[in-house]
Chains A and B, each alone.
Chain A
Amino acid sequence: MQTLLEKAFVEPFQRLAEQLAAVVPALVSLVVILLVGGALAYATRRLVQRLLQMVRFDQFVAESGLAGTIERARLFRSPSDFGARLAQGAVWVFVILFALMAMPSEMTQSLVVRFVNYIPDLLAAALVLLLGTIISKFLARSTLLAAVNAQWPAARLIAGTVRVLVMLLAVVMALEQLRIGQSALLLTFAILFGGIVLAAAIAFGYGARDLAREWLQTKLRSREQETEETFHHL
């Protein structure tokens, strides 16, 4: 009777107690790590924001033309706020990884190891996207100004197309870096890019024959008019 009682009640309780004894300290340390990590992330954000303001990061970003993109997103007060929150997010990622390492589970630990190995690829992809955004914005603005000063009627469309194509290239490169659908993505991009060029050529030659003729005539006319002008600006 006593054995039955022990087997039915005492042993399960003992096992539960043993498991709890193994898990509770890990849980406590998880909570502590998250609390301390949260405070550390917040402090990092404040510190980074101060530093970025000191080195006039907002002004630098304004010059590069990215400020408009950040402002339009309406998620951040300023480029330095964006940078500070990015740093806070990075600290949070490390805190969460550290907290998961504290868990006595093989699954979480292997997850952490895989994630850590993946970090360089993530950073490279983020860098590619960042550069892609800066370059696409700069090239689009250069194209827009050149087209407006040449008085091309579709200046904004041309500039927008340049921006989309450069961004598309950056996204494909970033996804390739992350090893997501490598061959399929490259193939899709090649088909898409080739398709756009072909479609533009066909549209210009056939679909918009009249528009093409009119545009060329306008261009030639304005060239003629320009050469007619005999005054000097200087």
Chain B
Amino acid sequence: MENFLPSHLIERLAQIGEADIVVGIPSYNNARTIGHVVRACSAGLAKYFPHRRSVLINSDGGSKDGTPEVVLRTELEAESLLLVAPQRLHPIQRISTAYHGVPGKGSAFRTIFAVARQLNAKACIVVDADLRSIAPHWMDLLASPILDREFDFIAPYYLRHKYDGTITNGIIYPMTRALFGKRVRQPIGGDFGFSGRLAARYLEKNVWETDVARFGIDIWMTLTAIAEGFRIGQSYLGAKLHDAKDPGADLTSMFRQVVGSMFGLLETYEEIWKNVHSSEPVPMFGLPFDVGVEPIHVNVERMIKAYCQGVRDLQEIYAQVLEQETREGLLACSRLSPTEFRMPDELWVHVVYEFAAAYHRRKLDRQHLMESLVPLYLGRTASFVLEVQEADAAQVEERIEQLCAVFEAEKPYLRKHWGVEAGKESSHANPA
């Protein structure tokens, strides 16, 4: 297998030898927040895994604000953090390295996977560098199920504001569940735990020149683990609070990378999802508790305006992708007043499934196809925000459950548009 790591990193890893746990932090200009993340991870490793050999690696995309220096300089202050002096047999090794390849989170992860393989790690954890809510116990919740219970992939389970994570709530979670049969609530959470053998499996794939090398990495990791039959779980991590904005993350390209990667995976694992007929919960670790979430400002009017302009100006594109009935439904929504604006679940599910089928059948240039879905997504987001503005967290979760049920019920609609003959489906329930 080709080793793409720089020689100085290989030498450093050779000096370290082996590790039980590798914690990876991808970064790009995160000097302001990464110190806290490094402290939380180090404290967690010291407290929960004092006898394990641990390596903390920062995979940086060429930060200009001194992010790598912050990683290497940050003091652990374990005694004041943990109120105990941890008796470690092995000190936590800390490395900061620049990754190579397509600039993006996925390329940073690839370096972390390679380090985990090189060190023969048993468990690997990845966490975002802009997290403000990360706490030491995250290390325990993400690594222990892998080290002690033979799980291969642990997804995060957060409490988020009802308007937060709209791509997750409106597309990614319902599709993951309906198509692959596993109720992983935050498939693109970004903070994962996974086994060394799964990291090695990821490295075998040839996806590092695609959108997977960018923001597509999260959904790719989750769906690969599910579709290839690895043991999946999720851990309750509490609230997820980010830094104000992801640097350089504009909605159109982020949306294209995430949703496009998911549509691409439907092609890769076609034989898996077409034989899944129901969904099941996945084991949950950690004790769920209530937390306060930060208030969020959403400009609904702007989203509705974007939707209406899309429906008006992109008619020619939609005519190539969507059924007439779906287009009429979208047009009817665009005529509603901003206060009455709603997009029914069934219409939204048909839009997503028809786009997924159009992606598969290459009805349009794929980049154009994904970009043309953005205004419709904004319309659906506006509809959701208006619908749940008076609802509490439990009611919102119930509302998302309803949407998931429609995604599951309408799966034959995707099969029909995809080109899968109903008679060819096998009868067994859920192999994934």
Contact A59 B375 (CB under 8 A): no
Contact A144 B298 (CB under 8 A): no
Contact A59 B364 (CB under 8 A): no
Given A68-B316, A148-B310, A156-B313, residue A234 in contact with residue B190 (CB < 8 A): yes
Q: Which of B254, B313, B320 neighbours the largest number of chain A CB atoms within 10 Å of its CB?
A: B313
Contact A225 B313 (CB under 8 A): no
Contact A225 B310 (CB under 8 A): no
Residues of B in contact with A, size category? 35 or more
Contact A148 B363 (CB under 8 A): no
- A63 interface neighbour in B165, B298, B306, B365, Cβ under 8 Å: B365
| Residues in chain A near residue B306, CB distance under 8 A | 148-149, 151
- Does B282 sit at the interface, judged by CB under 8 A? no
| Residues in chain A near residue B371, CB distance under 8 A | 145-146, 149
Q: Select the stretch in B69-77, B196-204, B244-252, B346-354 that faces chain A.
A: B244-252
- A234 interface neighbour in B163, B215, B299, B368, Cβ under 8 Å: B215
Residue of A with least CB distance to B305: A151
- A232 interface neighbour in B164, B363, B365, Cβ under 8 Å: B164
How far is the CB of B224 from the nearest CB of chain A, in Å?
A: 18
Tell me which residues from 269 to 327 in chain B have a Cβ below 8 Å from any Cβ of chain A.
294, 296-299, 302, 305-306, 309-310, 313-314, 316-317, 320
A-B contact pairs, 11 of them (CB 8 A): A65-B364, A67-B320, A141-B317, A149-B371, A151-B306, A222-B302, A225-B299, A230-B294, A230-B296, A232-B164, A234-B165
Chain B residues with CB under 8 Å of chain A are: 161, 163-168, 188, 190, 215, 218, 242, 244, 246, 251-252, 254-255, 258, 294, 296-299, 302, 305-306, 309-310, 313-314, 316-317, 320, 361-365, 368, 371-372, 374-375
Q: What's the tally of chain A residues with a CB closer than 8 Å to chain B?
A: 29
Contact A68 B309 (CB under 8 A): no
Interface string of A191-234 (1 = CB under 8 A from B): 00000000000000000000000000000001001101111111
Contact A234 B188 (CB under 8 A): yes
Contact A65 B365 (CB under 8 A): yes
How far is the CB of B70 from the nearest CB of chain A, in Å?
A: 23
Bound together, the chains give a CA A157 to CA B421 distance in angstroms of 43
Contact A63 B297 (CB under 8 A): no
Contact B372 A145 (CB under 8 A): yes
- B166 interface neighbour in A65, A142, A151, A233, Cβ under 8 Å: A233
Bound together, the chains give a CA A219 to CA B258 distance in angstroms of 27
